[in-house]
């Protein structure tokens, strides 16, 4: 039962219906109208469906926040744990249950502020685990405080005059800290987002995906970014993959952001090495018992 | 009227170069898609006429040549030609290198006497696929060559592209058509071949001359046999695509009126109703692209695509 997972390939003979993967009795969910987190959740479940992952083999761990709340809506094994610690919890789970697909859903505050330390060390270990960080540039759940990813000059409840702190590039951070897979996508491109998540789920090591998500009710409102449709259309016009910058100089659109699979390497995965050590110790122990 | 009688009639004409003996000048409209060689064909014809001491005026639209757009060229020749453009409906010979382009210009042909020579080659332009509904028919012409021929005084649907391909160079399709065109005029065969050899790329002179002769003999053969109504291409053109139907299911209880689906639907067929719940206003416009389903943060929309046959 505890054998590491082997993906059986695409079991998506059936058309994807998100309702087969959510807890219907919990719907409608608690997110505000237009919140991008819902779109990200759909993309994840779509990727799970395409890979043919059995719900019983899926474990979703999430921290606290609007993003953290998402695990509650998934009809699988879900764990809603303490703020900033979903990666720590998930690491333990992934080590003892390599037969599970362990997925962490976390917010930018959850992952990079209170959970920043856990984040860099999880990247460093490169344990097989998928981490989706929904980046809405703000602490949505607690009323819109500044987060480590809030862009410069943006207004939040704690930066009323505009944010003066430089923000983290979460993907660069993950890559520098040693994550085996790093990807980024916006919620506007749902099929692409699904593909990045799918590639992340298939990756044998630690896979980090940053999802650029819209906090419509708080961040959007405070920064005069318009209604939900305007915010999502803004992703299309303002967030452009860096390839655009490489081919066409876009002086009027400096806000380019690389998207897609940004890095993917074959660094040794921690879990396998860990289990091998454990096995050695275990067999040594067994030998002693026989002698005794 | 058969081409043979045409040719006989025109043989008394000065220079022997008119499809319409009594009328001056002779108007030839050559049409096609950018890159097919419309301009090359008109240069061949113009040069030939000049060599026979006739006055020639030629005008063209060729800006779309590299973009696969519509290209046409007017060639007028006779003892005296005043205007470089052919008056509406005065085309004596319409030579089309592409099927739909041929149909596009057909109304320019003289109703009673015009000759229509057209390649059945289909180059489908992007705007023929504007309807993005799954399984929607293309808006490319669905008339079969037989149907068209029946409405034109004298028409030939030539599968010139396949013929040229069989000779080993698909690009010689235009010379197959020049061969066909040559039968409607009285210039000596040797002159045609000499001018043609001047205008085609040097390496391809051989295959082009072969293509030219093939086009000529094809028309002569077609003239001998009864008008071809069997049309093997026709069925292919007429085969209708079975459209699928789309059903959009909206879970009103889950909709939070965010307006995303309404504003992002490319066909603009959704709206928020008086209770601010999403609703489909125009089912006929929905193409089943699923954008609303994907982007609804509340999972309130589901798009069902069903093949038409499955719908009772
Ligand atoms: C230990 C602890 N500290 C602080 C909080 C308060 N808190 C709840 S959610 C949250 C921020 C979540 O922000 P983010 O991770 O960006 O998620 P979002 O709500 O924006 O999706 C904070 C600070 C808490 N629940 N637990
Ligand atoms: S506060 Fe922001 S992040 Fe939280 S549910 Fe509302 S829109 Fe989404
Ligand atoms: S996207 Fe969903 S929640 Fe928003 S208006 Fe449309 S159906 Fe309602």
Enter the ipTM.
Answer: 0.88
Q: Work out the minimum CA distance from A15 to partner chain B, whole angstroms.
A: 10
For the record, the structure tokens of A284 come out as 């040594």
Higher pLDDT, B39 or B66: B39
Q: Write out pLDDT tens, residues A109-168.
A: 999 999 999 999 999 999 999 999 999 999 999 989 999 999 988 999 999 999 999 999
Same domain, B127 and B210: yes
Identify the band that residue B199 occupies on the pLDDT scale cut at 50, 70 and 90. Answer: very high
Does A136 contact ligand 2 (Cβ within 6 A)?
A: yes
Residues of B in contact with A216 (CB under 8 A): 258
Pocket-testing residue among A83, A85, A170, ligand 1, by greatest number of atoms within 8 A of Cβ = A83
Higher pLDDT, A93 or B132: A93
- pLDDT score of B228 more than 70: no
Same domain, B192 and B286: no
Same domain, B206 and B113: yes
Identify the band that residue B18 occupies on the pLDDT scale cut at 50, 70 and 90. Answer: very low
Number of domains, chain B: 2
Pocket-testing residue among A38, A41, A109, ligand 1, by greatest number of atoms within 8 A of Cβ = A109
| pTM of the predicted model as reported, rounded to 2 decimal places | 0.64
Give dist(CA A86, CA A84) in Å, integer: 6
Give dist(CA B180, CA B3) in Å, integer: 11
Pairing of strands A129-135, A206-212: parallel
Give dist(CA A150, CA A279) in Å, integer: 45
Pairing of strands B26-33, B70-78: antiparallel
Give dist(CA A136, CA A148) in Å, integer: 11
Phi/psi at B60 (5° precision): -150, 160
Give dist(CA A190, CA A185) in Å, integer: 9
**Ranges of H-type helices in A158-206:** 170-177, 190-202
Give dist(CA A158, CA A145) in Å, integer: 5
Higher pLDDT, A152 or A247: A152
Tell me whether residue B146 is in a domain. yes
Q: Does B151 touch chain A (CB under 8 A)?
A: no
Higher pLDDT, B69 or A116: A116
Tell me whether residue B236 is in a domain. no
- A87-93: average pLDDT: 96
Identify the band that residue B178 occupies on the pLDDT scale cut at 50, 70 and 90. Answer: very high
Same domain, B254 and B205: no
* Mean of the per-residue pLDDT values of chain B: 82
Supply the DSSP symbol for B135.
Answer: T
Bridge partners of residue B27, in order along the sequence: B76
- pLDDT score of B137 more than 90: no
Give residues 71 to 110 of B whose Cβ lies within 8 Å of A: none
Domain end position, chosen among B171, B197, B224: B224
- pLDDT score of A182 more than 90: yes
Q: Work out the minimum CA distance from A14 to partner chain B, whole angstroms.
A: 13
Residue nearest to atom 9 of ligand 1 (CA): A65
Give dist(CA A148, CA A94) in Å, integer: 27
Same domain, B262 and B159: no
Same domain, B187 and B102: yes
- The answer to whether the CB of B183 falls within 8 A of the CB of B217 is no
- pLDDT score of B93 more than 70: yes
Identify the band that residue B118 occupies on the pLDDT scale cut at 50, 70 and 90. Answer: very high
Same domain, B139 and B48: yes
Contact criterion met (CB < 8 Å) for B295 and A232: yes
**Mean pLDDT lowest among A8-17, A71-80, A155-164, B79-88:** A8-17
Residues of A in contact with B306 (CB under 8 A): none
- pLDDT score of B285 more than 70: yes
pLDDT at A3: 56
pLDDT at B149: 84
Same domain, B197 and B249: no
For an interface test with B, the pick among A42, A140, A192, A194 (most B C-beta atoms closer than 10 Å) comes out as A42
Does A136 contact ligand 1 (Cβ within 6 A)?
A: yes
SS3 label, residue B82: coil
Tell me whether residue B234 is in a domain. no
**Mean pLDDT lowest among A131-145, A252-266, B64-78, B181-195:** A252-266
Contact criterion met (CB < 8 Å) for A35 and B263: no
Enumerate the domain spans of chain A.
30-287
Same domain, B287 and B144: no
* CA neighbor of B191 nearest in space, from B7, B51, B25: B51
User: Which CATH number goes with the domain that contains B100?
Assistant: 3.40.920.10
Pocket-testing residue among A70, A142, A146, A215, ligand 1, by greatest number of atoms within 8 A of Cβ = A142
Same domain, B184 and B290: no
Give dist(CA A230, CA B174) in Å, integer: 52
Same domain, B176 and B300: no
Domain end position, chosen among B190, B224, B258: B224
Pairing of strands A129-135, A138-139: unpaired
Same domain, B149 and B292: no
Identify the band that residue B65 occupies on the pLDDT scale cut at 50, 70 and 90. Answer: low
Pocket of ligand 3 (CB under 6 A): B 255-261, 278, 296, 298, 300-301
Domain that holds residue B85: 3-224
Higher pLDDT, B206 or A2: B206
A219 CA closest ligand 2 atom index:
2
Q: Does B263 touch chain A (CB under 8 A)?
A: yes
* Mean of the per-residue pLDDT values of chain A: 88
Domain A30-287 matching CATH 3.40.50.970: the answer reads yes
Beta strands in chain B (DSSP E): 26-33, 55-61, 70-78, 93-96, 115-119, 154-158, 244-250, 270-272, 278-280, 301-307
User: Which CATH number goes with the domain that contains B252?
Assistant: 3.30.70.20
């Amino acid at each position: 039962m505890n054998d590491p997972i082997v993906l059986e390939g695409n079991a998506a003979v059936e058309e994807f219906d998100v309702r087969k993967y959510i807890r219907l009795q919990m719907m409608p969910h608690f997110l505000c109208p237009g919140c991008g987190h819902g779109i990200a959740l759909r993309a994840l479940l779509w990727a799970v469906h395409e890979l043919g992952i059995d719900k019983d083999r899926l474990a979703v761990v999430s921290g606290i926040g609007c993003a953290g709340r998402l695990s509650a809506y998934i009809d699988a094994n879900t764990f809603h744990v303490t703020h900033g610690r979903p990666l720590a919890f998930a690491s333990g789970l992934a080590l003892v249950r390599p037969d599970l697909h362990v997925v962490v859903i976390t917010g930018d505050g959850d992952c990079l502020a209170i959970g920043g330390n856990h984040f860099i060390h999880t990247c460093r270990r490169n344990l097989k685990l998928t981490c989706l960080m929904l980046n809405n540039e703000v602490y949505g759940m607690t009323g819109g405080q500044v987060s480590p990813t809030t862009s410069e000059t943006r207004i939040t409840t704690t930066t009323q005059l505009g944010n003066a702190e430089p923000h983290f590039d979460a993907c660069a951070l993950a890559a520098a800290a040693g994550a085996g897979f790093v990807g980024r996508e916006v919620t506007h491109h749902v099929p692409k987002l699904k593909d990045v998540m799918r590639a992340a789920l298939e990756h044998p090591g630690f896979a980090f995906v940053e999802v650029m998500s819209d906090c419509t009710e708080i961040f959007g409102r405070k920064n005069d970014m318009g209604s939900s449709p305007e915010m999502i259309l803004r992703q299309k016009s303002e967030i452009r993959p860096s390839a655009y910058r490489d081919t066409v100089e876009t002086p009027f659109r400096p806000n380019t952001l690389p998207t897609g699979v940004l890095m993917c390497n074959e660094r040794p995965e921690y879990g396998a090495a860990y289990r091998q050590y454990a096995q050695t110790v275990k067999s040594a122990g067994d030998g002693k018992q026989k002698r005794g | 009227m058969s081409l043979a009688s045409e040719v006989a009639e025109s043989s008394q004409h000065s220079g022997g170069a008119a499809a319409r003996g009594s009328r001056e000048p002779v108007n030839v409209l050559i049409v096609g898609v950018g890159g097919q060689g419309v301009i090359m064909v008109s240069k061949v014809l113009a040069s030939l006429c000049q060599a026979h001491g006739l006055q020639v005026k030629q005008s063209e639209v060729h800006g779309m040549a590299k973009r696969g757009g519509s290209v046409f060229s007017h060639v007028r020749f006779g003892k005296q030609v005043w205007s470089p453009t052919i008056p509406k409906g005065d085309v004596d010979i319409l030579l089309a290198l592409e099927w739909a382009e041929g149909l596009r210009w057909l109304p320019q042909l003289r109703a009673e006497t015009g000759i229509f020579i057209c390649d059945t080659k289909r180059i489908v332009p992007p705007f023929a696929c504007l309807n993005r509904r799954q399984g929607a028919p293309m808006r490319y012409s669905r008339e079969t060559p037989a149907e068209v021929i029946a409405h034109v005084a004298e028409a030939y649907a030539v599968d010139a592209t396949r013929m040229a391909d069989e000779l080993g160079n698909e690009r010689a399709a235009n010379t197959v058509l020049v061969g066909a065109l040559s039968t409607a005029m009285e210039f000596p065969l040797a002159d045609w071949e000499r001018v043609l050899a001047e205008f085609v790329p040097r390496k391809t002179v051989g295959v082009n001359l072969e293509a030219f002769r093939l086009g000529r003999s094809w028309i002569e053969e077609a003239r001998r046999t009864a008008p071809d109504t069997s049309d093997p291409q026709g069925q292919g053109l007429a085969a209708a695509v079975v459209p699928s139907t789309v059903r959009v299911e909206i879970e009103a209880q889950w909709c939070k009126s965010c307006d995303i689906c309404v504003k992002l639907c490319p066909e603009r067929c959704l709206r928020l109703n008086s209770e601010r719940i999403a609703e489909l206003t125009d089912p006929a416009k929905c193409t089943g692209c699923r954008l609303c389903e994907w982007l609804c943060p509340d999972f309130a929309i589901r798009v069902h695509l069903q093949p038409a046959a499955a719908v009772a």
